[in-house]
Amino acid sequence: MSKDHPTLLVNATEANQRFSRLLAESEQGHEVVITRRGRAVARLLPVFGGDEAETSFGHPVGSDLPDYDKRRALIDTCRQMNKIGLNQGASGNASVRVDGGLLITPSGLDYDKTEPVDIVKINYEGRVLRGSRNPSSEWHFHCRVMAAKPEAGALLHTHSINATTLACLGRSIPPFHYMVAVAGGRDIRCAPYATFGTEKLADAVLTALDGRLACLMANHGMLVMGRDLEDALKRAVEIETLAAQYLKALAVGKPQLLTVGDMDVVLEKFKSYSAWANPKAR
């Protein structure tokens, strides 16, 4: 120890037995600080240098992490959301269900810089089960929705331009087009405004998602459920398209809306249409 470096440097190999649960983070190239009662007491040195991306056997570093494939898929989905314009920068967040809880994106980290070891595992009360980063500030509604909706395998929250524009107007999306049914009901509700990262917002979201697979959040963005990440992303793209179409229709005049009976027929047909089938949504 020195005045400049008050923490103890511990080689990862020597600390293998004592700190085995942190080895994956170390192998990923991160320096892991060990704390006790909020005070740094040791630093686990990386096994590899920052430029090493593969093991000698050709497997990605950290591929032995629990749920590695789902961690990778979660990151890939978030990067895809940015690529196609559903999100910008580090906005939005996502989660996927795993045994014992959910994996969620970390708070404030750009998706392009996110690695599998950065993904945080939490339980349905928001307690961190694995990970050295803070979970997304929106963990409240991710946990509440996953706990209340056992059919949901993944959850995406986006700040897409058109859906967010409608949300900032406090507008739901009515049945102006039959594809509104992709959200599981006859309309896509807009939850009332509540501060991000609060239980009040989680309450509002759960109400808006009653019998639905997606909703808007006033002055905020969009939230979408899916059987898995692929299903959720597909639904998010469709809802953003609907939002754009609805805004264009409103710019010209008052859209003609489908009736309750019209939408009930569509919802029934969707039950047997493989692309959007989800019998538990209604």
Where are the domains positioned within the chain?
8-44, 68-270
Tell me the mean pLDDT in the region 49-61. 42
- Are the C-beta atoms of residues 27 and 61 closer than 8 Å to each other? yes
Which of 27, 138, 238, 240 is labelled catalytic? 138
CATH, range 68-270 = 3.40.225.10
DSSP 171: -
Q: In what order do the strands lie in the sheet with 8-10?
A: 8-10, 39-44, 32-36
Q: How confident is the model at residue 252 (pLDDT cuts 50, 70, 90)?
A: very high
pLDDT, tens only, 118-172: 999 999 999 999 999 999 999 999 999 999 999 999 999 999 999 999 999 999 9
Give CA separation, 170 vs 196, 197, 198, 217, 279, in Å. Answer: 16, 19, 19, 8, 29
Give CA separation, 63 vs 204, 216, 237, 244, in Å. Answer: 38, 36, 30, 40
Q: How far apart are CA 170 and CA 253, in angstroms?
A: 18
Spacing of C-alpha 39 from chain mean position: 31
Tell me the mean pLDDT in the region 6-22. 52
Predicted local distance difference test score (pLDDT) of residue 276: 61
Is-catalytic flag, 138?
yes
Q: How confident is the model at residue 56 (pLDDT cuts 50, 70, 90)?
A: very low
The answer, yes or no, to whether residue 282 has pLDDT greater than 50, is no
DSSP 127: -
Predicted local distance difference test score (pLDDT) of residue 253: 97
CB atoms within 10 A of CB 242: 22
